[in-house]
Chains A and B, each alone.
Chain A
Amino acid sequence: DTAVSQTPKYLVTQMGNDKSIKCEQNLGHDTMYWYKQDSKKFLKIMFSYNNKELIINETVPNRFSPKSPDKAHLNLHINSLELGDSAVYFCASSQVTGRETQYFGPGTRLLVL
């Protein structure tokens, strides 16, 4: 069974469009995260939610808006897509915040043309 799943796996879209990426975890974890991996493989945290409450909000353009309808889901909506948004976006989850293992999803490869 998939622990952390993301949809879609691939997303190709035009500049200026709005798109969403969905994430679901079936591990019963309280905390979920969004990371961005750029073309040089650098991984950087974007957001974190604990029990549907935003707890980490890094310096991310406000075109990016996370939404957590319940603690098993954390979606990422991106408005007015730009070329620089092209990257791989990973969702992750952990049991609690702090020193706990984070489990990553398979990633969503976003290409903005």
Chain B
Amino acid sequence: GENVEQHPSTLSVQEGDSAVIKCTYSDSASNYFPWYKQELGKGPQLIIDIRSNVGEKKDQRIAVTLNKTAKHFSLHITETQPEDSAVYFCAASAGGTSYGKLTFGQGTILTVHP
């Protein structure tokens, strides 16, 4: 089955700095890679996703890159703000063949210091 490794487990940055979280996956059939943000006491919320037919996607301060050959994908947050502090999860899915099953990474606790 799919295995997703996420690093680092904790990340501390100063406000305005960039933050990068990296994930690797094992199943070459995986073709959908979402990133979720989980704030304290809440459910995970999708912030950005990327499909296997593109290498990069941006949405304002957030970007995701995908390297299918190396089986890794990364989340980039620029100009971090204190409200970006949360737990971030990457995930991978093999799409229809997996019936939408998402395999999550272990999570990264991001702390942005004012």
Binding site for B on A (CB under 8 A): 4, 31, 33, 40-45, 48, 50, 55-56, 90, 92, 94, 96-107
Binding site for A on B (CB under 8 A): 31-32, 34, 36, 38, 41-46, 49, 51, 87, 89, 93, 95-96, 99-104, 106-107
Question: Shortest beta-carbon distance, B49 to chain A, in Å?
Answer: 7
Partner of B34, one of A48, A96, A101: A101
Partner of A42, one of B32, B46, B107: B107
- Could you list 16 A-B pairs, sorted by A, with CB under 8 Å? A4-B43, A40-B106, A41-B38, A42-B104, A42-B106, A44-B104, A45-B102, A48-B101, A56-B100, A90-B44, A98-B96, A99-B93, A101-B34, A104-B45, A105-B43, A106-B42
A98 to B44, CA, bound (A): 18
Query: B99 touching A56 by the CB < 8 A rule?
Result: yes
Which of chain B's residues have a CB closer than 8 A to the CB of A48? 99-101
Given contacts A44-B104, A48-B101, A50-B99, 8 further A-B pairs with CB under 8 A are A33-B100, A43-B44, A43-B104, A56-B100, A98-B99, A99-B100, A101-B46, A102-B100
User: Which residue from chain B places its CB closest to the CB of A106 in the assembled complex?
Assistant: B43
Query: B43 touching A31 by the CB < 8 A rule?
Result: no
Question: Shortest beta-carbon distance, A8 to chain B, in Å?
Answer: 14
